[in-house]
Amino acid sequence: MAPSLKDVIRQVKEQADIVAVVGRTVALHKAGNSYKGLCPFHKEKTPSFHVVPSKGIYHCFGCKAGGSVIDFLMHTERLEFIEALRDLAKDLGIELPAAGPRSGPRDGDEERRRALHSVNDFALTWYRANLTGNRHPVASTYMEKRGITPELAEKFSLGAAPAEWAALKTAANAQGYSDDILVEAGLCKRHEERGTVYDRLRNRLIFPIRDHLGRVVGFGGRRLAEDSDDAKYLNSPETPLYHKGRTLYGLDVAGKSIGDTGYAIVTEGYMDAIMAHRYGFGQAIASLGTALTPEQARLIKRYASRVVFLYDGDDAGRNAMLRAGEALLGAGIDTRVILLPKEDDPDTFLQREGADALAALVHSAREYFDFALDIFAKAEDLATLAGQAELVEKAAPLLNAMAGEAQRAAGLNRLLTYLGTLPREAVLRTIQRISAEKRPRYEDRADEPGPPQRAPLDPTERFALKLMLESEKALDVLRAELDVSWLSDARLDPWILFLLSHDGEAAALIAEAESAGALPGDPALLPEILADAHPLGDPALAARQIAARLKKRHHKKVTRELIDSVREHYRNDPAGLPEGILRMIHEENRLAVKVEVPRSGL
């Protein structure tokens, strides 16, 4: 009997030689019980990238990248989880479940996904045949007018949809595809009242939308009848395969060029990206007209350390770039913008000025944060306190999204140049207050000097999670003795709660959640915590000590809140305080419930 997917994940992580796998990409040198090398995910001169074979993990103390051998293969080879797992399992001679990347009750889901991929592949072939067979001369004329050569059309697999209401449906039905699968794939729509099914895209130039692995997940269409009231561009709806916020148009075509040059050019739509390729900019991809999401930013980060926005030059294009940049800052990507003349879009600029002119703009592209500050500042009267406060409000999310401390410090200095004589400390405290209000998972650290930054992980809860990850005995103790109401770190707690509320050992639970795409928290935290060399000693004893410490801290917090509440109630009538309560306030430190915490040096 073939093993379950959870078993395969466990076996791969246990049996794969992570030093050998990483060593194919990174030159590693022995350093004690681990190996060191230059990080493959960011540029550095001093090695901060560590591989710990005893724990089966890698971690960079510079850029915080980390994970298992599967994660490393995903990020270096730009594979999805199941593809990386399959490659490693094959090398190790481990059999994968025959049903595919899901097992048990989800087998039907995977069968459905295969059916959706199949019908999309059929639609692609059908749309392409309409164009290459000259069955839609209007589409051919439009492409010639826009300068789309046959080579470009083939590179991006462009096609054409006829004007008939059910041409694709009829052809697909003849090949055995049901109306239900056509509707689920987003290729057809069902009339709400009559129940009839008809083609979603009609009389349009067709742009297949592929994921980064080259699989067709959806389609877009450009209207060919200029006198029509239909939308100029129409995309597939969200489907089990197509999620707009996780997909980047053209990445399957542009990925190699992006990796070779180290940067991506992000445009708004299909035509902008295709025209950039026509003029030699093979790094061009499109965001499909939406603000970039964190998922898209992480996808770009697999290929590039820098992004250059190339949107329309008008106010709408500039505002779209403004909305799109925050996710890239959060991913630690060097983000820049090209400001085209207001009358231009990328296509018109390239036609008039040529590739060399755009190359010069790419080379001199402005940093996104400076561009954003300019837009924010122009909208406010900075001679007034209200205008300055509003500028800080708008800039704070961008500053706090920045991944690096040095970058945040530089950003803060640039913001201060717009604010005149306002003291740095006052601006910093305001930014941190705004960050705490808008991002409650981070603590307010306004009393500390320096740039706005994410607070460190709670050390006690961090060590609790380390115990849970590394020791079954400690995990059993914490399941019995740790109350979830004692927790306070919003980044660690999803992991702790997950492990407390499920039976089984930590590695198997995490592997199962990983395979189901349902990880409870930020996966980057785990290798960082596991890479911590803090000795566990007696894991069960350490777990009891940690539980006791968290209990004591919680009771102190509750006591302080009670005292503050009593004090506030009698603030205007202190004489009304009963003598016992008054004594309680004066001796509040003695109110904490006494919990004996064994001494261990933790």
The per-residue pLDDT for range 381-431, each reduced to its tens digit, is 988 888 888 898 899 889 988 877 778 888 999 999 888 777 788 788 877
Note the CATH number of domain 5-92: 3.90.580.10
Contact in structure between 456 and 424 (CB atoms under 8 Å): no
Characterize the bridge pairing of strands 66-67 and 57-60: antiparallel
Burial class (CB in 10 A: 0-12, 13-18, 19+), 53: middle
Q: What is the pLDDT of residues 456-504, one digit of tens each?
A: 788 899 999 989 988 888 999 999 898 877 888 878 888 888 888 787 7
Residue 265: helix, strand or coil by DSSP?
strand
CA gap 283, 254 in Å, rounded: 5
Residue 128 pLDDT level (bands cut at 50, 70, 90): very high
Query: Residue 155's pLDDT band (boundaries 50, 70, 90)?
Result: very high
Residue of 521, 331, 452, 528 whose CA lies nearest to 443: 452
Does the pLDDT value for residue 577 go beyond 80?
no
In the chain, count of helices (H) and strands (E)? 27, 16
pLDDT score recorded for residue 515: 61
Highest mean predicted confidence (pLDDT) among 155-164, 407-416, 518-527, 583-592: 155-164
Banded model confidence at residue 451, pLDDT cuts 50, 70, 90: very low
Sheet holding 216-223, edge to edge: 159-161, 204-210, 216-223, 233-235
Q: What is the pLDDT of residues 49-67, one digit of tens each?
A: 888 888 888 888 777 778 8
More confident residue, 331 or 5: 331
**Does CATH place domain 251-372 in 3.40.50.450?**
no
pLDDT score, position 106: 42
What pLDDT was estimated at residue 522? 80
- pLDDT average, residue stretch 73-97: 81
Whether CATH 1.10.860 fits 459-590? yes
- The mean per-residue pLDDT over the stretch 177-181 comes to 96
Strand 306-309 and strand 366-367: the pairing is: unpaired
Say whether pLDDT at 549 is over 50. yes
Select the more confidently predicted residue: 262 or 369.
369
What's the CA gap between 317 and 315, in Å, rounded? Answer: 5
Distance CA 28, CA 41 (A): 15
Those residues whose C-beta lies under 8 Å from the C-beta of residue 287, and which sit 6 or more positions away, are 248, 249, 266, 267, 268, 296, 324
The span from the CA of 183 to the CA of 434, in Å, is 45
Cα separations (Å) of 14 from 17, 21, 61, 92, 268? 8, 13, 24, 11, 44
Could you tell me which residues are beta bridge partners of residue 306? 263, 334
User: Do 600 and 537 form a contact (C-beta atoms < 8 A)?
Assistant: yes
Q: CB neighbours of 542 closer than 8 A, spacing ≥ 6? A: 463, 467, 474, 536, 600, 602
| Integer Cα distance of 199 and 52 in angstroms | 54
The pLDDT tens digits of the residues spanning 430-447 come to 777 766 665 433 233 333
CA distance 36 to 30: 6
Sheet with strand 334-337: strands edge to edge: 284-286, 263-267, 306-309, 334-337, 366-367
Pick the CATH number of 105-242 from 2.40.50.100, 3.40.30.10, 3.40.50.1110, 3.90.980.10: 3.90.980.10
Token pair of 80 as six digits: 């999805």
Percent of the chain with pLDDT over 90: 40
Q: Which pLDDT score is estimated for 105?
A: 33
Q: Looking at residue 218, what is its pLDDT?
A: 96
Residue 213, pLDDT score: 78
**CA dist., res. 272 & res. 279, Å (int):** 11
State the pairing for strand pair 216-223/233-235.
antiparallel
Output the pLDDT for position 100: 37
Who wins on pLDDT, 482 or 161?
161
Average pLDDT, the chain: 83
DSSP state of 200: S
Burial of 396 (0-12, 13-18, 19+ CB in 10 A): buried
Q: Is the dihedral of CA 534, 538, 539, 544 positive or negative?
A: negative
The pLDDT value recorded for residue 280 is 97
Pairing of strands 49-52, 34-37: antiparallel
Amino acid identity of residue 304, one-letter, is A
The pLDDT tens digits for 17-56 are 999 999 998 999 988 778 999 988 877 888 888 888 888 8
Alpha helix (H) residue ranges in 304-423: 315-324, 326-330, 346-353, 355-363, 368-378, 385-401, 405-418
